[in-house]
């Protein structure tokens, strides 16, 4: 990690040693997983081993784990792989869902960013009355605010109207239980690099009976659901990261304690501070902090100069000066003053102390400048 203090785990977690070792071992495997000779079978063994690990963790079927290039491709496959469906997505979805289907109908959210179930039911009823087939896509946990959605309730409601459900669980994996059986969804997207695996590898897991039209053609890989030679090295790292996530779930309580301490100290010092989604269930590692009067990009740069890595929202829109659609849909007027602080297993109390110290100094400068303007 380049920054001494890294608090941007929602963008990407550091590559864990287990994943690195598994990837190094996979580099020695020569064959193509589709080849029938011994070298090919060795590569296939690596792929199938990781496939089973994923299925075991999230309660799916190993035969229905489709490896992709990441969460974005998994989401695109889910939203475009079903034929002749009307797509409903929550208004606060990740860009890889929002932009995958420009014709999707948006489900509104409340001030905490939680989906409006009454609005969803009205939309489902209208579609059902019109004889439309529907796919509902709702993320398990928001990447900017950490707000957790009632996905199982959404899926149950969708079933009542004959609709299928997709869940983007990329940010939730490793931070709260992700179980297809409990979530009741038909498809679920996950990604390796949020849990200490390598970048560029993800998966879409589908339930029995889900038939997808491949979006990448050119081979029979992944049971003809996603063409292209499998990324054996990345898949090996993904499998190792899945093991680590399964083994460290109980450590999230420690992460929550650090996150809560950070928010408590900052809120006591700055009564003007707004914490997006504070009034509902959130990921234990995520804080979306809004400091009115100071642009989020300026805060990110100030923190970076002090050796602290944070972000001003989704990493997928970094470098672009645009208002967060998530905060806008929540009715937050100071969305441009938001930063995202996201913790991980490697975060320490000293990291939190450093962040608080730098943030307090930064806020103090804002307050002094504001007071000077008023005095003038």
pLDDT digits (tens, 9 = 90+) for 135-172: 999 999 999 999 999 999 999 999 999 999 999 999 99
For residue 322, what pLDDT band results from cuts at 50, 70 and 90?
low
Cβ neighbours, 10 Å, residue 301:
12
Average pLDDT over residues 253-275: 97
Reduced to 3 states (helix: H, G, I; strand: E, B; else coil), residue 219 is coil
For residue 321, what pLDDT band results from cuts at 50, 70 and 90?
very low
For residue 98, what pLDDT band results from cuts at 50, 70 and 90?
very high
Please report how the helices 252-269 and 349-375 are oriented relative to each other, as an axis angle in degrees rounded to 10. Answer: 20
Domain with CATH 3.40.640.10 in the chain: 17-247
Task: Say if strands 134-137 and 164-168 run parallel, antiparallel, or are unpaired.
Answer: parallel
134 or 293, which is more confident = 134
Residues 6 or more apart whose CB falls under 8 angstroms from that of 331 comprise 111
For the ranges 91-95, 196-200, 313-317, 331-335, which has the lowest average pLDDT? 313-317
Cα gap 52→60, rounded to integer Å = 9
Residues 6 or more apart whose CB falls under 8 angstroms from that of 260 comprise none
Choose the CATH number for 17-247 among 3.40.640.10, 1.20.950.20, 3.90.1150.200, 3.60.10.10.
Answer: 3.40.640.10
DSSP 72-117: HHHHHHHHHSSTT-EEEEETT--HHHHTT-TTPEEEPB-TTS-B-H
Q: Which residues pair with 203 in a beta bridge?
A: 67, 190
User: Which positions are catalytic?
Assistant: 316
pLDDT digits (tens, 9 = 90+) for 210-253: 999 999 999 899 999 999 999 999 999 999 999 999 999 889 99
**pTM, 2 dp:** 0.94
User: How many residues comprise the chain?
Assistant: 376
pLDDT digits (tens, 9 = 90+) for 340-354: 999 999 999 999 999
Instruction: Give me the pLDDT at residue 323, please.
Output: 75
Average pLDDT over residues 194-211: 97
CATH 1.10.3720.10 fits 5-13+250-375, yes or no: no
Domain with CATH 3.90.1150.10 in the chain: 5-13+250-375
Is the per-residue pLDDT at 257 higher than 70? yes
Average confidence score pLDDT of the chain: 94
Is the per-residue pLDDT at 3 higher than 80? no
């Amino acid at each position: 990690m380049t920054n001494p203090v890294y608090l941007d785990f929602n963008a990407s977690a550091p590559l864990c040693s287990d994943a690195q070792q598994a990837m190094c071992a996979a580099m020695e495997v020569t064959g193509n997983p589709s080849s029938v000779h011994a070298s090919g079978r060795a590569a296939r063994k690596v792929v199938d081993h990781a496939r089973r690990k994923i299925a075991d963790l999230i309660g799916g079927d190993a035969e229905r784990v489709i490896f992709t290039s990441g969460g974005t491709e998994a989401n695109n496959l889910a939203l475009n792989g079903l034929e002749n469906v009307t797509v409903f997505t929550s208004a606060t979805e990740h860009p890889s869902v929002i932009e995958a289907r420009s014709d999707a109908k948006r489900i509104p959210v409340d001030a905490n960013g939680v989906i409006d179930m009454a609005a969803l039911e009205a939309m489902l009823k209208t579609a059902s009355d019109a004889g439309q087939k529907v796919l509902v896509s709702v993320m398990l946990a928001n990447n900017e605010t950490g707000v957790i959605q009632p996905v199982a309730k959404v899926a149950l409601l969708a079933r009542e109207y004959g609709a299928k459900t997709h869940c983007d669980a990329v940010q939730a994996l490793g931070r709260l239980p992700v179980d297809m059986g409990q979530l009741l969804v038909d498809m679920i997207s996950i990604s390796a690099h949020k849990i200490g695996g390598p970048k560029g590898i993800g998966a879409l897991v589908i339930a029995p009976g889900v038939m997808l039209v491949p979006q990448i053609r050119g081979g029979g890989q992944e049971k003809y659901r996603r063409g292209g030679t499998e990324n054996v090295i990345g898949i090996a790292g993904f499998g190792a990261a899945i093991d680590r996530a399964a083994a460290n779930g109980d450590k999230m309580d420690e992460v929550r304690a650090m996150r809560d301490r950070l928010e408590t100290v900052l809120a006591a010092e700055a009564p003007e501070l707004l914490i997006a989604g504070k009034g509902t269930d959130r990921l234990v590692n995520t804080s979306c902090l809004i400091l009115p009067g100071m642009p989020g990009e300026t805060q990110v740069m100030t923190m970076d100069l002090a050796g602290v890595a944070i972000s001003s929202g989704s990493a997928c829109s970094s470098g672009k000066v645009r208002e967060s659609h998530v905060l806008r849909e929540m009715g937050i007027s100071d969305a441009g003053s938001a930063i995202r602080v996201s913790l991980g297993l490697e975060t320490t109390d000293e990291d939190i102390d450093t962040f608080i110290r730098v943030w307090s100094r930064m806020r103090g400068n804002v307050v002094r400048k504001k007071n000077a303007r008023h005095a003038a």
